[in-house]
Chains A and B, each alone.
Chain A
Amino acid sequence: MSTLHLCGTLSFRRRATDRIATVGTLLALLLTLIPLTLVVGYVVTRGAERFSGRFLTSSMAGVGPLDAGGGISAAIIGTLEQVLVASVIAVPLGLLVAIYLTEYGGSRFATAVRFLIDVMTGIPSIVAGLFILAFWLIELGHGFSGFAGALALSILELPIVVRTSEQMIQLVPNSLREASYALGIPKWRTILRVVLPTAATGIVTGIMLAVARVIGETAPVLLVIGNNNFVNGDVFRHAQASLGVFIYQGALSSSDFDVDRAWAAALTLILIVFALYAAARLLTRRDKLARR
């Protein structure tokens, strides 16, 4: 009888703890979802007012703050080109650094590199922009350009690529490297043929996340791309627009038209980021399916 009684109290306590923990985690989940839904919901409702095909394909050329028309084609082209160039710089470089750290590291130099990459992760984005302004524009005398923005973005993207790729390469089991060495396959070829393909899914996801992370950056490009109402497809010459800067300036404007355009641009940015995430997930899934 007494054991049964004991069991009863224990089970009551355990059930209560279980209930509290369940409710607690659910509450935490809801709390996290509140800001997310509010942000996305607000951007979607406000952005949808001005969002249209015409908005995406027309520029702000000849459109003043008090005009209702205009669009963000210049900003979309600018942002996509800047992020593309930044990735062309940061992804190969970051991947090579990650390969060095995982496959050839272990020395004190590698530890120092790892530390510097960590420091780089902590650089405030405005500092990256200021650095490019001081170095590329003022010191070396180059004019405003999308490329200057891309340089600033690559400073931010590089450490993310290094860190995620490094983690993914570290996940590749050592037994696979050994299997490859045992076939007489040299180390460099083992890295190219065995290690990188095995880690590819994770590396691609990491790169997508890094791109998504910098695509909405405003501060680093604000000071160096010069901004431009006209479409400028040449990322290396003359001022370019950017979605982040467009939103920033629109939001500061006293004209309701500018504010509306900023909301629609914000919606566009979220859609682009969402498309990137979806593409990353799709790539991952296809890879998994292929392995079955």
Chain B
Amino acid sequence: MAKRIETIGLSCFYGATQAVADVSLTIEPKSVTAFIGPSGCGKSTLLRSLNRMHEVVAGARIDGKVLLDGEDIYANGIEPSAVRRTIGMVFQRPNPFPTMSIYDNVAAGLRLNGLRRKSDLDDAVERSLRGANLWDEVRSRLPKAGGSLSGGQQQRLCIARAIAVEPQVLLMDEPCSALDPISTLAIEDLISELKDRYTIVIVTHNMQQAARVSDVTAFFTLKGPGEPGHLVEVDATHKIFANPSQQRTEDYITGRFG
């Protein structure tokens, strides 16, 4: 199921501005990789370039390669929508479709893939909601609007929606930054469960969160305002937090800057 992502000399641009410079790293399957670093270091941009969401912004482009199990996702003839079906994404703010019910939100991506049979959809919706630890809370009100849920529930609904299409990789862009501590805990527990089946990449501003949920941590920084972000080091999370090999990483981890 889960697949490996590899970036080779990946740079991201918005028009003439370079946001990320020359990142080469490997993201292992069935593990959680955290991207940490100060604001503006390009970690969200890098994340969005891994499933071709970066290019949705006008004028955005990349340089370099992104390989999914060795296959270049930016190669000619590759459909961005096909890439995004394989590499799902959860956003910073919960964004359920406001006109759709809880059920329809989860089924939205499946219907696109041609799944029409009611019983198949029912099964997939239940499986996805169970997978997102939300089933017990919403099973009795599936026809209600997705927006009627609390913020934390909405975010888990978005995760259910993302895993419903059975992606290989799940990208999470600060998925807890708009949530309270209890909802955050629920999402973190969920991440630990999901990593058995998916490759997970999570961008977070919260270093404790990175330490709690991730197996591997990549630290990014930028030389100054307006400079592109770059990768400082990537290593096992316990090593990054206990004994980083770079001084800049240690300064950031210990709160001396950023």
Q: Which residues of A contact B (CB under 8 A)?
A: 106, 173, 175-186, 189, 193-194, 197-198, 200, 290-292
Residue among A184, A197, A290 facing the most chain B CB atoms (10 A cut-off): A184
Count residues of chain B with CB under 8 A from any CB of chain A.
33
Contact status A173-B95, CB under 8 Å:
yes
Nearest B residue to A290, CB-CB:
B145
Q: Kindly state the separation between the CA atoms of A186 and B109 in the bound complex, as whole angstroms.
A: 11
> Would you call B145 and A184 a contact (CB within 8 A)?
no
Q: Are B162 and A183 in contact (CB under 8 A)?
A: yes
Contacts A181-B56, A183-B88 supplied; 13 other A-B pairs, CB < 8 Å: A175-B91, A180-B97, A180-B108, A181-B53, A182-B162, A183-B108, A183-B112, A184-B81, A184-B113, A185-B112, A193-B108, A197-B100, A198-B99
Instruction: Please tell me which one of the listed residues B80, B97, B113, B145 contacts residue A176 in the complex, with CB atoms under 8 A apart.
Output: B97
CA distance A182 to B88 in the complex (A): 6
Across the interface, name the chain A residue whose C-beta is closest to B88. Answer: A182
A184 touching B85, Cβ below 8 Å: yes
Residues in chain B near residue A197, CB distance under 8 A = 99-100
Report yes or no: A292 in contact with B145, Cβ–Cβ below 8 A.
yes
Q: Are B99 and A291 in contact (CB under 8 A)?
A: yes
Say yes or no: B85 contacts A183, CB within 8 Å.
Answer: yes
Those of B77-108 within 8 Å (CB) of chain A: 80-86, 88-89, 91, 93, 95-100, 108
Distance in Å: Cβ of A114 to nearest Cβ of chain B: 17
Contact residues in B for A183 (Cβ distance below 8 Å): 84-85, 88, 108-109, 112, 161-162, 165
What residue of chain A has the Cβ atom nearest to residue B109's Cβ?
Answer: A183
The reply on B244 being an interface residue by CB < 8 A is no
The answer to whether B112 and A291 have CB atoms under 8 Å apart is: no
Q: Is B75 an interface residue (CB 8 A)?
A: no
Given contacts A176-B97, A194-B97, contact A185 B91 (CB under 8 A): no
For B183-201 the 0/1 string (1 means CB < 8 A from A) is: 0000000000000000000
**B158 CB contacts on chain A under 8 angstroms:** 179
Provide a sorted-by-A list of 24 A–B residue pairs whose CB atoms are within 8 angstroms: A176-B95, A178-B53, A178-B95, A179-B91, A179-B95, A179-B96, A179-B161, A180-B108, A181-B84, A182-B84, A182-B91, A183-B85, A183-B88, A183-B108, A184-B81, A184-B82, A184-B85, A184-B112, A184-B165, A186-B81, A200-B99, A291-B145, A291-B148, A292-B145
